[in-house]
Structures are given as C-alpha cells and as structure tokens.
Amino acid sequence: MRKITFDVETRNLFQDVNSTESTALDISVVCIHDSATDQYTSYLQEDFGTLWPILEQADMLVTFNGDHFDIPLLNKYYSGDLTKIKSLDLLVEVRNVLGKRIKLDTIAEATLGIKKSGHGLEAVTWWKTGEIDKIIKYCIDDVKITKDVYDYAMKNSKLKYKDFGPNGQIRDIKLDTSNWEKKNDSAMTFTLPF
C-alpha cells in the first residue's frame, strides 16, 4: 500500500483572511513522505504540478487534522478531488476514541518522547521574512512525527497522551487499526497522461 504522509504550512493566518475556513488561507509549502520511495520531499505552490501525480498514485493519505484542514486547503489548488483518495486522519481516530481533540505535540511527546520543532505561527512569520528553508525543515519535521505516530499506532494498536489532570499521567488511546491499510478501489487520473 502506497501511503503519502503529508503536512501543509500556510502563508497567512485565519485572522489575516477574516475567516475560519482553511480554504481561505494560502499554502506556503506542502511536505510529504512517500512510502514507495521512503523519501521526504517539499513542494512550493509552483511545484504542485510535480506533487499531483504522486498524490494520485497514493492508496492512502495520512495526516494529523488533514480531513478538516490540510486536504480541503490543498484541494483548492487541485483540478480534481483529493477527498476521493482514502484518508487516515490521526486526529479523527484519536477524537473518536477520546471524544476530544489532542495536539500532535501532546501525542508525540507521550508516545515517542519527542516534541515538535516549532508551531504554525512561526511558519507564517518565516514566510513573511522569506525564510523558506526554515518552513520546509519545520514542515518535514511534522511529517516525520506524523509518520512515526502512525507507525507506532499500527504496531501497537494504541497511542499515548499526557492527561491534563493534576497528576499528568500518561494514558493510552486504544485504536482499532485493523482496517487502516485496507485498500479502497478508487483511481485518481486527473493529471496523469492517458
């Protein structure tokens, strides 16, 4: 199964565009991990023509908050419909079990013992100051964390988080991963040659 784990960084914030819709924002960079090549790559808007065929060949997109944020935003730039590709949104899986949203950083720290290298607000500042390399590094770091969290969940059928209670205990999030890598029969052929 070819999995594309990806993350999107933006050029602006919701308050900049007076909206809470992800599609109102503009993308600065998309970073991916392609399981077929085991490579991490980055794509600025002008590189999206190279990104589309990779996504179209994917059996599944793996994200953290991608169903609500990354996929609709990236779909704004795409001539087809990325929602036709199977999606595994780790945040949705966690929320379905816990009944609440938890940050990727909270899960990564408890599950993997690592923290994110920054946050999205910094990425917008870096865009405004022309520090594209910093955005790409941060975005790839997020993709690596997302991939590692996914891999841990597949291997252990759980993730971990630090409870926000007074004791701050590490708690398990039990996940049913049995259908995560079951293929869907869908084909994306919008930019592929016929």
The 10s digit of each residue's pLDDT in 146-184 is: 999 999 999 999 999 988 777 788 999 999 999 999 987
Straight-line distance from the first to the last Cα atom of the chain, in angstroms, rounded to the nearest whole number: 23
- Per-residue pLDDT band for 29 (boundaries 50, 70, 90) equals very high
DSSP secondary structure, 81-117, as one string: -GGGS-EEEHHHHHHHHHSS---HHHHHHHHHS---S
Q: Domain extents for the chain? A: 3-98+119-146
Q: Which helix (H) or strand (E) holds 136?
A: helix 132-156
CATH 3.40.50.150 correct for 3-98+119-146 = no
DSSP secondary structure, 42-66, as one string: EE-GGGHHHHHHHHHT-SEEEESSI
Residue 14 identity (one-letter amino acid): F
Say if CB 114 and CB 145 are below 8 A apart: yes
Instruction: Tell me how far apart the alpha carbons of residues 46 and 51 are, in angstroms, rounded to a whole number.
Output: 10
Q: What pTM, to 2 d.p., does this model score?
A: 0.91
pLDDT at 8: 97
Instruction: Tell me how far apart the alpha carbons of residues 105 and 114 are, in angstroms, rounded to a whole number.
Output: 8
